[in-house]
Amino acid sequence: MSDRKEFRDLAEPAAARDAIGSLDLTPDPEAVPIGEARGRVLAERVDAGIDVPGFDRASMDGYAVRARDTFGADEADPVELDLVGVVHAGAAPDVTVEPGTCVEASTGAVLPDGADAVVMVERTDERPGEGSETGRIAVRTAVAPGDHVMAAGADIAAGGRALGPGTRLTPREIGLLSALGVDEVPVRGRPTVGIVSTGDELVRPGDELDPSRGEIYDVNSTTIAAGVEEAGGDPVLYPHAGDDYEEMERLLREAADECDLVLSSGSTSASAVDVIYRVIEERGELLLHGVAVKPGKPMLVGRIDRGDGGESAYVGLPGYPVSALTIFRTFVAPAIREAAGLPEPRTATVEGRMAVRERYAEGRLRLMPVGLLDVDADPGVNGASGDDPAANDVIAAEPPNGSDRPLVYPVDKGSGATTSLVEADGVVAVDPDTEYLDAGERVSVRLFSPDVRPPTLLGTGEDDPGLNRLLDRLANPRYLPVGSREGLRRLRDGVPDVAVTAGPIERDVDDVALGEWRREWGLVVADGNPDGVSGVADLVDHDLRFVNRPSDSGLRRSLDATVEDLAAERSVPRTELTSRIDGYELTLRAFESPVRKVVDGGADVGLGLRETADRLGCGFVPVGEQSVAVRAAPDRVDRDPVASLSAELDAMSELLDGLTGYSE
């Protein structure tokens, strides 16, 4: 009587997924050179270590000027300025823009001292100078300070959250990392997958085949290896094994000692000569034998003991190539992708609906960078459900009505901003004759690649070290640090899920408070406080170089309120005090930027947080505390990602541990 293992009580597909999900395939993280990082997944957050750009630069060809010298200029009555020099990209300026002068500047050039704007070359004329070798430039338009200038840190500022853990590195992200000077990247390891094909009838491609003996070429090894690589794993092919028990055991144990996961194909049926299930039972643990799917019923899931006392995951695939590949794609590939930190595959085009009205009337084809937020789909399955693996191949199938399409919002910080690449998911081509795209209008988004994964949650508002830690706990969030006031405006317009605010702010939008924490803010000075700064009054009363934050930021609004109180005490207008503070209108983008200005010696005092001052080795003069609040749009509170954020906020004290000056 033959010794035959029968299939009984076949497992449901969900049980097979659970069994594979119980296996540990996750390898240790590693560091790789940036040139080898494409396609890898970040293991931890990467913060900007420098400002990008690191200097104020001309954003187009033209002339660097003092903006006040151009006031009143127009086509009929141009202003003439003496041309005193030239500065090119990659060269240090050797000339200063004095009143009544200008300097020719090429795109990307460092803005010379004295200049605060650039006039486009198209709005100027050259005129011969009287006794001057360089001549004069007629300016036919007025410019304001900052026009056609990308300020230091305007793209991304030192200390800013550049990329979060779990980000897959495409050429877009690698471009941003390169701009930050990163040469080695911390990434999640790729699971190593050993592949063993079994069966006496198999012959390796390239070897001689004898059809009279029923021999066939081994299709599964190369097919599954390609699938492993596509899913983000590193395949390792082992020699072909026949149906001999000892040889099969030797190969499986060798593969288990060297790999995170072992895949075999063949020898999983109920035939008496198929012995592989006995190898797993005797040298490990068999979790599942047979699954209720067609094709692909013969399937094994288990663990194999390793020589070092540990264990490796094991999955036995059917022998028929179609069945093997079907089982692999349905059950195994998602587990490999999860271990490697990779998303499910997506299609390259998405139909969405505009989140806001976007005006456009320039008469040219516009390739508008946009972000996506699928507010109606379950982010766990990318908008699909059920057991059909093909359902996850599409990011958003044609919905029953327009309201179910993902939101599409413009992301356009300028062509020189590398962060636009990672804050956008694709491009909407806007026809030259289109004057505007209305809110709710259907648009077609061409994704940057089929691998693009839109965020599960979108937030805007204040930047904050505690918030960075909070975002690290979420699955694929996107956060735009636009400042408290702008964050609330976008929340009112219905784009983000949440807005984060700090300090005093006028709220003109309905929202739901999810949680808050407190942070200490004040004046950051050099270590040892060499100028003896004791408070905001010293900025007014002493000759100190100060660096501020933009008016949209919570830190700036708290400082403005403090200056307002000081003005009331002295019975003078607030503007009188701010005009006496050297650099009050000099603003830098991120919470860390003013502190780094102090560290570099470019300022005596900067507006900042105690945490940042402590971390960067600076002195700190406390001024006050402010609340950092997370606010959600009322119609998004029930979304799973927002609920996950709310749950993490309940444990905020743990996330704040180690941040100086922070409390709940």
- Taking the domains of the chain in order of start, what are their residue ranges? 13-27+190-340, 31-51+155-187, 57-150, 359-447, 457-664
Is the alpha carbon torsion for 634, 456, 414, 427 positive or negative? negative
Assign 561 a pLDDT band (cuts: 50, 70, 90): very high
- The two three-digit tokens of residue 69, written as one number: 């010298």
CA distance 26 to 335: 9
pLDDT tens track for 345-400: 766 788 999 999 988 766 677 778 899 998 875 443 333 333 333 333 333 333 43
Residues in the chain: 664
Is CATH 3.20.20.140 what the domain over 457-664 is classified as, yes or no? no
Name the least confident of 91-105, 287-301, 490-504, 571-585.
287-301
Give the pLDDT of residue 248. 80
Which residues lie below 8 Å from residue 156, measured CB to CB, with a gap of 6+? 48, 51, 52, 162, 176, 179, 180, 418, 419, 590
What average pLDDT is seen over the chain? 86
Give the pLDDT of residue 420. 63
C-alpha distances in Å from residue 436, one per residue of 364, 405, 407, 479, 494 = 13, 20, 17, 26, 18
Q: What is the CATH number of domain 13-27+190-340?
A: 3.40.980.10
Class of domain 31-51+155-187: alpha beta
Assign 103 a pLDDT band (cuts: 50, 70, 90): very high
Give the pLDDT of residue 404. 63
pLDDT tens track for 393-437: 333 333 434 456 799 999 876 544 556 667 888 888 888 788 889
pTM: predicted TM-score of the whole model, two decimal places: 0.72
* pLDDT greater at residue 12 or residue 96: 96
Give the pLDDT of residue 391. 35
Assign 125 a pLDDT band (cuts: 50, 70, 90): very high
Assign 3 a pLDDT band (cuts: 50, 70, 90): very low
The C-alpha angle 155, 156, 159, rounded to 5 degrees, equals 165
13-27+190-340 and 57-150 share one fold: no
* pLDDT greater at residue 132 or residue 163: 163
* pLDDT greater at residue 645 or residue 242: 645
Cis before 239? omega within 30: no
Give the pLDDT of residue 84. 94
pLDDT tens track for 199-232: 666 666 666 766 776 666 667 788 899 999 989 9
Axis crossing angle, helix 640-649 with helix 465-472, rounded to the nearest 10:
120
Name the least confident of 203-212, 518-527, 654-663.
203-212
How far does CA 384 lie from the centroid of its chain? 24
CA distance 67 to 142: 7
Task: Specify the DSSP element, H or E, that contains 443.
Answer: strand 442-447
DSSP label of 278: H
Which residues lie below 8 Å from residue 454, measured CB to CB, with a gap of 6+? 371, 372, 373, 374, 395, 406, 425
Name the least confident of 89-98, 482-491, 505-514.
505-514
pLDDT tens track for 51-66: 899 999 999 999 999 9
Farthest CA pair distance, the chain? 114
Assign 266 a pLDDT band (cuts: 50, 70, 90): confident
Give the pLDDT of residue 401. 42
Query: Percent of the chain beyond pLDDT 90?
Result: 59
Name the least confident of 43-57, 177-191, 400-414, 644-658.
400-414
Give the pLDDT of residue 604. 97
Tell me the average pLDDT across 450-472: 92
Q: What is the CATH number of domain 57-150?
A: 2.170.190.11
Give the pLDDT of residue 414. 53
CA distance 429 to 449: 16
